[in-house]
């Protein structure tokens, strides 16, 4: 029997809680089927149910169903081909990266506080977990897209960007996740924000507001309201109005998910752009 996206979806808890880093159980099922995302990324699956699903997926893959083989590797290869022929000094000016003349020539810039290095053949991190293929793709998109324009200096919601509505639920799920993770834990939020280099933004109405330099030309504003009189805590992520000079809509959602994972102490290993 085939075991495809809808079948996987039916076997999930279907609460759309977002704890897997996806905006919904259906998005998770799609990523499992098409991208090979591990079922263990859903923390709400009973081990026995998960084992049964994994067995059915493995049977399907043996029949040639599912994961598009090497789609991420193909995207990475394409972007590395692009940077292989690029003027690195121009890329450094555009992206705000440091330029190392090498050899090998390299761009150096922090991503969520961790220094990364882009050469003509690879992307590496100088600390923490090694970048996944998706992180590499994301950083190469940033390095090759950034126009060099300074931030616009006004904060906007993701859904107000052109052509962003279809992905806005995934973006906003990150805010919901952060809101839930730090409910009643303002001190822990302060510590987590400090670890990511967050600076108090001084907004009056939320309980906390921080600005993060997610990338040299991509600031992110986090607003957090703790629970109050029967209302649960909530959080919002806002972007600089010029963010599309540096990232496309899909890459911005990936950035938000990576930010949410980093802030809540999770790995980036399960994120799929
Ligand atoms: S973690 Fe993801 S797949 Fe699991 S129930 Fe929540 S949204 Fe659905």
pLDDT score for 129: 75
Residue nearest to atom 6 of ligand 1 (CA): 17
Give yes or no for residue 23 CB within 6 A of ligand 1: no
Confidence of residue 137 (pLDDT cuts 50, 70, 90): very high
Residues 231-272 have pLDDT tens digits of: 999 999 999 999 999 999 999 999 999 999 999 988 787 666
Give yes or no for residue 44 CB within 6 A of ligand 1: yes
Give the CA distances from residue 258 to residues 21, 43, 51, 103, 143, in Å, rounded to whole numbers and listed in that order: 9, 18, 27, 31, 17
What percent of the chain has pLDDT above 70? 97
What tokens does 146 get?
Answer: 């950034």
Give yes or no for residue 42 CB within 6 A of ligand 1: yes
pLDDT score for 69: 53
Does pTM top 0.75 for this prediction?
no
Residues 34-89 have pLDDT tens digits of: 877 788 888 899 999 998 998 898 888 777 787 655 677 778 888 998 999 999 99
Range name among 13-27, 36-50, 57-71, 207-221 with the lowest pLDDT average: 57-71
In ligand 1, which atom is closest to the CA atom of 15? 5
Residues 109-131 have pLDDT tens digits of: 999 999 999 999 999 998 877 88
pLDDT at 228 over 60: yes
pLDDT at 150 over 90: no
Range name among 37-46, 135-144, 150-159 with the lowest pLDDT average: 37-46
What domains are defined for the chain? Answer: 5-62 (1.10.15.40), 71-145 (no CATH), 155-263 (no CATH)
Range name among 14-28, 146-160, 181-195 with the lowest pLDDT average: 14-28
Does residue 71 or residue 191 have the better pLDDT? 191
Give yes or no for residue 36 CB within 6 A of ligand 1: no
Average pLDDT over residues 179-200: 96
Average pLDDT over residues 164-191: 94
> To the nearest whole number, what is the mean pLDDT of the chain?
90
pLDDT at 24 over 90: no
Rounded to the nearest angstrom, the distance between the alpha carbon of 257 and the centre of ligand 1 is: 14
Given a contact cutoff of 8 angstroms between Cβ atoms, the answer to whether 121 and 80 are in contact is: yes
Give the CA distances from residue 178 to residues 2, 181, 262, in Å, rounded to whole numbers and listed in that order: 36, 5, 11
Out of 10, 20, 43, 173, give the residue to mutate to test ligand 1, the one with the largest number of ligand atoms within 8 Å of its CB. Answer: 20
* All residues at 6 or more sequence positions from 211 whose CB lies less than 8 Å from its CB, including other chains: 198, 199, 201, 219, 220, 221, 222
Going through 95-243 in order, the beta strands assigned E by DSSP cover 98-100, 106-111, 114-118, 123-125, 155-156, 199-200, 208-215, 218-225, 234-240
Rounded to the nearest angstrom, the distance between the alpha carbon of 168 and the centre of ligand 1 is: 17
Give me the helices (H) in 63-161, please. Answer: 71-84, 88-95, 133-145
In ligand 1, which atom is closest to the CA atom of 24? 7
Give yes or no for residue 15 CB within 6 A of ligand 1: yes
Given a contact cutoff of 8 angstroms between Cβ atoms, the answer to whether 120 and 130 are in contact is: no
Give the CA distances from residue 73 to residues 24, 155, 163, in Å, rounded to whole numbers and listed in that order: 25, 34, 26
DSSP state of 105: P
Give yes or no for residue 19 CB within 6 A of ligand 1: yes
Rounded to the nearest angstrom, the distance between the alpha carbon of 78 and the centre of ligand 1 is: 32
In ligand 1, which atom is closest to the CA atom of 21? 2
Question: If you search the block for the tokens 């009056």, which residue do you land on?
Answer: 204
What percent of the chain has pLDDT above 90? 62
pLDDT score for 40: 84
Helix (H) or strand (E) holding 35: helix 25-35
pLDDT score for 67: 66
Using CA atoms, how far apart are residues 195 and 227, in angstroms rounded to an integer? 23
Rounded to the nearest angstrom, the distance between the alpha carbon of 10 and the centre of ligand 1 is: 12
Rounded to the nearest angstrom, the distance between the alpha carbon of 19 and the centre of ligand 1 is: 6
Neighbours of 69 (CB within 10 A): 11
pLDDT score for 68: 59
Using CA atoms, how far apart are residues 217 and 92, in angstroms rounded to an integer? 11
Give yes or no for residue 50 CB within 6 A of ligand 1: no
Out of 13, 26, 46, give the residue to mutate to test ligand 1, the one with the largest number of ligand atoms within 8 Å of its CB. Answer: 13
Using CA atoms, how far apart are residues 26 and 170, in angstroms rounded to an integer? 11
What tokens does 107 get?
Answer: 């761009």
Give the CA distances from residue 47 to residues 4, 89, 133, 152, in Å, rounded to whole numbers and listed in that order: 20, 51, 28, 48
Rounded to the nearest angstrom, the distance between the alpha carbon of 184 and the centre of ligand 1 is: 23
Dihedral, 30, 33, 39, 42 alpha carbons, nearest 10 = 0
């Amino acid at each position: 029997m085939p075991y495809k996206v809808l079948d996987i979806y039916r076997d999930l808890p279907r609460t759309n809680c977002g704890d897997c880093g996806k905006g919904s159980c259906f998005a998770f099922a799609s990523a499992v089927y098409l991208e090979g995302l591990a079922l263990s990324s859903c923390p709400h699956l009973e081990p026995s149910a998960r084992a049964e699903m994994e067995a059915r997926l493995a049977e399907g893959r043996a029949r040639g169903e599912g994961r598009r083989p090497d789609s991420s590797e193909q995207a990475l290869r394409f972007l590395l081909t692009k940077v292989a022929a690029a003027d690195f000094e121009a890329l450094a000016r555009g992206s705000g990266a440091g330029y190392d003349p090498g050899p090998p020539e390299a761009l150096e810039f922090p991503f969520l506080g961790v220094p990364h290095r882009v050469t003509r053949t690879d992307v590496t991190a100088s600390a923490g977990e090694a970048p996944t293929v998706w992180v590499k793709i994301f950083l190469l998109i940033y390095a090759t897209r950034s126009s060099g324009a300074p931030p616009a200096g006004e904060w906007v919601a993701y859904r107000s960007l052109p052509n962003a509505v279809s992905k806005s639920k995934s973006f906003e799920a990150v805010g919901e996740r952060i809101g839930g993770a730090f409910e009643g834990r303002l001190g822990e939020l302060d510590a987590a924000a400090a670890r990511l280099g967050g600076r108090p933004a001084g907004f009056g109405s939320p309980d906390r507001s921080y600005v993060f330099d997610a990338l040299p030309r991509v600031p992110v504003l986090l607003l957090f309201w703790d629970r109050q009189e029967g209302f649960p805590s909530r959080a919002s992520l806002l972007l600089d109005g010029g963010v599309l000079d540096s990232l496309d809509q899909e890459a911005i959602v990936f950035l938000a998910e990576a930010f949410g994972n980093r802030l809540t102490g999770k790995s980036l290993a399960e994120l799929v752009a």
